[in-house]
Amino acid sequence: MNRENVSKDMGRCPNCGSLMVEYIDGEISDGNYVYTCMCRECASEWNEVHKLAFIGNFVENTQIQPSQQATEEHMTEKEKCKKFLVFNGWSMESASDEYDNYFKNGCIGVDVSDNELVLVGDYGDFLHMPINYYALIGALLEFRQISANYVSVSNNMELV
């Protein structure tokens, strides 16, 4: 595209100097935004060329929700452990001052405190570990409470 730059006054007719400028059309061209302009006084036509500048990423739908992602990142280990248990079929059936007690039919129980995870079998507690989301998953795999041929439960369950 061959253009001659005849004026640097935005919104002003380069022929007669009038401000009665009509922006008829616009398109992206060569990395610029190019308006087609027309003067209402002298009927001249020209292109007003604007440089494009990156200013950020914006979304209008709900697929990306930075605020929710941030919330997930700031969950405590305890909250993450409890959420994992609930989403995998355990439910909180009792609680003491220190422990929330999670049960799942036919499975090992899990007691969750602020700083400890306790696995509880038919004969009582048999494994204590520091509260850690990944350690919980590892322990449940080790004791075959979640399986390598994993089948998820409903994802409509609420975090208790």
Are the C-beta atoms of 43 and 57 separated by less than 8 Å?
no
Residue whose CB is less far from Zn ion, 7 or 65: 7
Residue whose CB is less far from Zn ion, 39 or 118: 39
Shortest CB 69 distance to Zn ion, Å: 53
CA distances in angstroms from 116 to 18, 28, 81, listed in the order given: 77, 59, 11
Residue whose CB is less far from Zn ion, 16 or 95: 16
Shortest CB 53 distance to Zn ion, Å: 29
Contact set with Zn ion (CB under 5 A): 13, 15-16, 18, 39, 41-42, 44
d(CA 97, CA 87): 24
Shortest CB 34 distance to Zn ion, Å: 19
The candidate with the shortest Cα–Cα distance to 131, out of 60, 94, 82, 67, is 82
